[in-house]
């Protein structure tokens, strides 16, 4: 997308969250993030025009797909216009001047705390304190009633709230990335090769998914992701989400037409430039 002056982007969570980092990475430094308490509020803010874009986490390389994001992408008539992958690098942040030896209570979101088990094992005097989110736990170090001595969050959160980073990259697994999608009310397909995300349902007959995948495979098109989600009211039947690389003006366009003809429901969620480093299943 490149930088756009003053573009607003709804995120779920606080300033300084990894969603905020994703917004900066995908939309440039001039982006203004609009924090939302829930995914529902995020999608509503983009639908209403309150924010020009939304930045939605869809998958983490250790924990897998974020179901709610997939369900809302299908349910809302918005378009994916970009993707970005953020390395989840966790820092121990504290009020300036704090020494690690003086830290006892360390606050963060339970998922972030769980991702730093080796760090806690190596520093047995530290107590993990569950909090509402990572960035908020850094911000709350400066509240009048602060109860934690340090917090685990992004370097961005430390910078934004004026905290000092005592230790960097304390997460257990270095290969920890979250993939985010940028959504908008208008589609913005790039010219030429891109990544296209679609969602479809199939007639409930054996081999239907294999046949749908075949329209891409026989053209040598690379599927980078396939995800299934249940269809409420139709137990053990699924919506399939597929990401595929190719040129919608070329072979991919033919494949999409063929897939649409096989499908029961079918919707293209968007075409956008692929982030670097994609392999495919």
Among 191, 206, 261, 276, indicate the residue that binds a second copy (CB under 8 A): 206
Considering the rule CB under 8 A, would residue 276 count as an interface residue with a second copy?
Answer: no
Residues in contact with a second copy, shown as a per-residue x/- string from 207 to 226 under the rule CB under 8 A: xxxx--xx-xx--xxxxxxx
List Cα–Cα distances, 1 to 35, 194, 196, 235, in angstroms.
20, 13, 16, 39
Residues in contact with a second copy, shown as a per-residue x/- string from 15 to 54 under the rule CB under 8 A: ----------------------------------------
Distance, CA of 137 to CA of 141 (rounded, Å): 7
Among 127, 228, 249, 264, indicate the residue that binds a second copy (CB under 8 A): 228
Please confirm, yes or no, whether 196 is among the known catalytic residues: no
Among 6, 186, 236, 261, indicate the residue that binds a second copy (CB under 8 A): 236
Strand partners, 230: 238
Strand partners, 109: none
Distance, CA of 246 to CA of 100 (rounded, Å): 50
Compute the least distance from the CB of residue 248 to a second copy, in Å: 18
Please confirm, yes or no, whether 180 is among the known catalytic residues: yes
How much helix, strand and coil, in percent to the nearest 5, is found in the chain? Answer: 30, 35, 35
- Which region among 74-82, 185-193, 227-235, 255-263 touches a second copy (by CB under 8 A)? 227-235
Encoding tokens for residue 25?
């990475």
∠ CA 187-192-196, rounded to 5°: 50
Q: List the interface residues with a second copy, window 105-134 (CB under 8 A).
A: none
Distance, CA of 40 to CA of 125 (rounded, Å): 39
Residue 149 or 227 with smaller CB distance to a second copy = 227
Q: List the interface residues with a second copy, window 148-187 (CB under 8 A).
A: 173, 175, 177, 179
Residues with active-site annotation: 178, 180
């Amino acid at each position: 997308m490149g930088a756009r002056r003053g573009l607003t982007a709804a995120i779920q969570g606080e300033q300084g969250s990894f969603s905020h980092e994703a917004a900066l990475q995908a939309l440039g430094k001039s982006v203004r993030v609009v924090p939302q308490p829930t995914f529902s509020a995020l999608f509503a803010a983009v639908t209403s025009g309150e924010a020009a874009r939304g930045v939605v986490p869809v998958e983490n390389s250790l924990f897998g797909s974020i179901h709610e994001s997939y369900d809302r992408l299908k349910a809302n008539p918005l378009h994916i216009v970009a993707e970005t992958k953020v390395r989840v690098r966790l820092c121990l942040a504290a009020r300036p001047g704090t020494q690690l030896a003086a830290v006892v209570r360390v606050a963060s979101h339970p998922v972030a705390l769980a991702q730093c088990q080796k760090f806690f094992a190596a520093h047995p005097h530290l107590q993990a304190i569950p909090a509402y989110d990572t960035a908020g736990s850094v911000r709350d170090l400066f509240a009048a009633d602060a109860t934690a001595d340090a917090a685990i969050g992004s370097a961005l959160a430390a910078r934004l709230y004026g905290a000092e980073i005592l230790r960097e990259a304390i997460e257990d697994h270095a290969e920890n990335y979250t993939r985010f999608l940028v959504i908008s009310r208008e589609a913005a397909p790039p010219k030429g090769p891109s990544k296209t995300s679609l969602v479809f349902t199939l007639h409930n007959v054996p081999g239907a998914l294999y046949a749908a995948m075949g329209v891409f495979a026989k053209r040598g098109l690379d599927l980078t992701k396939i995800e299934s989600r249940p269809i409420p009211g139709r137990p053990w039947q699924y919506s399939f989400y597929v990401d595929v690389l190719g040129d919608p003006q070329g072979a991919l366009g033919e494949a999409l037409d063929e897939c649409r003809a096989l499908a029961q429901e079918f919707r293209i969620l968007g075409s956008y430039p692929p982030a670097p480093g994609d392999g495919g299943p």
